[in-house]
Amino acid sequence: MEILLWIVIAALFILSIAGIFLPVIPDTILLWGGFLLYHFFIADPGAGLPASFWWGMAVLSVLLYGADLLTNMYFVKKYGGSKASSWAAALGILLGVILFPPFGMLIMPFVLVVLVEMLIQKQPFERAVKAGVGSLIGFLGSVVVKVVLQVVMIIWFFVAL
C-alpha cells in the first residue's frame, strides 16, 4: 500500500509541474495533495513533517500564485507600458484562464495591454505592441519562476523526510 501511495505522490508532483504549462491543472493544489498524502498516510503518527516545512510551503504557495501576476506586471512596465497596462496584464491573466484556457493566459494579457496603451494611454501602435510583448515575456518569466519554486518545494519535501 505504501508503494502505491508513493506512486500517487510522484504523479501529483509531476502533474503539478505540468500545471505550469496547462493552467487548467491546479499545480499548487496537487503539490499540497502529495504533501498531505505523505503526512497523513505514510508518516509515523506524531512524526510527520515539521512545522517549518508547512510554514515554508505556505509562503512558497503564495509566491506561486503571485508569480504570474507580478512578473507580468513587472515586464509590461519594463517594456514601456503604463501602470494601467500593468493592471490590464494582470486582469488578462485572470480572464484568459477563465475564458480561453489554456492559451488565454498568453493571449489575453497581450491584447488587453495593447488596447489599454492605444485607446486609453493614446500611445502609437508600435509602443503599444512593445508593451504587449512585455506581457508575453512576463508570462514566460513566470513559467521559469514557477518551475524553480515548485522544484524547490519538491526538494524541500524530500529533505524534510
Looking at the predicted structure, is the pLDDT value of residue 156 above 90?
Answer: yes
Render pLDDT for 50-69 as a digit per residue (tens, 0 to 9): 999 999 999 999 998 888 77
* CA-based end-to-end distance of the chain: 19
Q: Which range (86-100, 111-125, 128-142) has the least confidence?
A: 86-100
Percent of the chain with pLDDT over 70: 99
Angle at 21 between CA 141 and CA 126, to 5 degrees: 45
Give the span between the Cα atoms of 122 and 116, in whole angstroms. Answer: 8
Q: What is the pLDDT of residue 155?
A: 97
Please write the tens of the pLDDT for every residue from 127-138: 999 999 998 898
- CA dist 123 and 128 (Å) reads 6
Q: How far is CA 64 from CA 104, 117, 150, 153, in A?
A: 19, 28, 8, 10
Using CA atoms, how far apart are residues 35 and 58, in angstroms rounded to an integer?
12
CA distance 27 to 117: 32
- pTM for the full model? 0.79
